[in-house]
Structure 1
Amino acid sequence: MDPNAKKTALRGITYGLYVVGTKGDEGVNAFTGNWLTQTSFEPPLVALAVKKDTTSQEQIKKNEVFSVNILETGQKDMATSFFSAIKQEDNKLQGYEFYIEQTGCPIFKDALSFFECQVVDRIEKGDHYIYVGEVTNAGVHKEGDPLTLKETGFNYGG
């Protein structure tokens, strides 16, 4: 296989960028994710890939819940702020205000919308875990267009 062709082909997969919330014994956490897709309408299921051996992955594995915050076009700064270690101050992570609903995972006020999930299955292969979550709660903060990886100029895949 031509490695450049593989990289080019895999980078053709389209992605959104989301802030995924988790919770643990030490409090809440969040990370920027992009491997997310809906896999069922009834019940409403999504599949989320999370890098192995990270705080967030361990929290999802232990507590079996997560939240997904849909970012708005133009929120590249918010997405990039969750690429590194998280700083929590009261009800803010990385300076972004959040609140808690059903799962105890952070929901960001600046997001377009959100949903919360209960893990119903997981696959442990490669360098990521895939969590299948049933959507148990959802809300909309405002109307707008979602942020995509293409808009940011970032590349993923290959």
Structure 2
Amino acid sequence: MPEAMDSNALYNITYGLYVVGCYSDDKPAGCIVNTCFQVTSENPTLAICLNKKNYTLDCIKKNPKFCISIISEDTDPMIISSFGFRSSRDADKYADFGYVDLDGAPAVKGNFCGRLVLDATDFIDCGTHVIVISKLKDTQDGSGAPMTYEYYHKVIKGSAPKNAPTYRSEQESTTVTKKDVRRFKCDICGYEVESETNLPDDFVCPICGFDRSHFKEI
């Protein structure tokens, strides 16, 4: 991006949140994405965007069947933490939730707006990321209001993982805080909390469940 360009307008583009589920050989893998859209209506084609460093992308290239679980405002925030801030290379993201197999793709258990089962048909290189073009094979109904990315940031107060297309560094943040209020940020999931004093010793992150030691003052 040109140095003189103001990137703030980009953060007004609307997004949702989704869990992508796939298999790494016979083990379930997956991640959170915020870029998923329908390309065609007849013989529906959809697209998602994944960072090239993302293990889930490697898995889908080997096994093109995957599913998307549409995150709702009622979805357990721990699912967002587990799938968004850890890698399936070294963590079993499904361990605390379980999963069901949807026609060859693992879908994490929980409350979601719906599920989509897809077959990847094409991969478009976009530099740091890859757009995965896919054909819709099946759907499953769910319930609840879809969680927008704005809701995730403003209500749950989560941040974007570094591999996300919408990742924003601390230097780019425009958040303004009160002079008499201190801010602490979880170094696991990015959750921020304000306090006039130090956080209590027994404080735990409401998003990822990690303890006070992972909160750094910012």
TM exceeds 0.5? yes
> What is the TM-score when the length of structure 2 is the normalising length?
0.64
Give the 3-state SS of the residue equivalent to 1:43 in structure 2.
Answer: coil
Distance in 2 between residues matched to 1:38 and 1:135, nearest whole Å: 10
Does residue 85 (structure 1) correspond to residue 87 (structure 2)? The answer is: yes
Distance in 2 between residues matched to 1:4 and 1:129, nearest whole Å: 24
How far residue 4 of structure 1 moved from its aligned partner, in angstroms, is 6.2
Change (3 A) 1:151 1:43: same
Identity across the alignment (%): 25
Which structure's CA Rg is the greater one? 2
Count of residues in correspondence between the two structures: 152
Match of 1:105 in 2: 105
Distance in 2 between residues matched to 1:57 and 1:30, nearest whole Å: 9
Match of 1:131 in 2: 132
Return 5+ residue gaps in structure 1 as ranges: none
Does residue 20 (structure 1) correspond to residue 56 (structure 2)? The answer is: no
Moved segments of 4+, more than 4 Å: 1-4
> What is the TM-score when the length of structure 1 is the normalising length?
0.86
Match of 1:95 in 2: 96
How far residue 74 of structure 1 moved from its aligned partner, in angstroms, is 4.0
Distance in 2 between residues matched to 1:65 and 1:3, nearest whole Å: 42
Counting strand residues as a fraction of each chain, which structure ranks higher? 1
Match of 2:31 in 1: 31
Contact 1:99 1:106 in 2 (8 A): yes
Give the 3-state SS of the residue equivalent to 1:119 in structure 2.
Answer: strand
Contact 1:116 1:135 in 2 (8 A): yes
Give the 3-state SS of the residue equivalent to 2:98 in structure 1.
Answer: strand
Distance in 1 between residues matched to 2:78 and 2:9, nearest whole Å: 27
Match of 1:115 in 2: 116
Match of 2:147 in 1: 147
Q: Which has the higher contact order (CA 8 A, sep 6+)?
A: 1
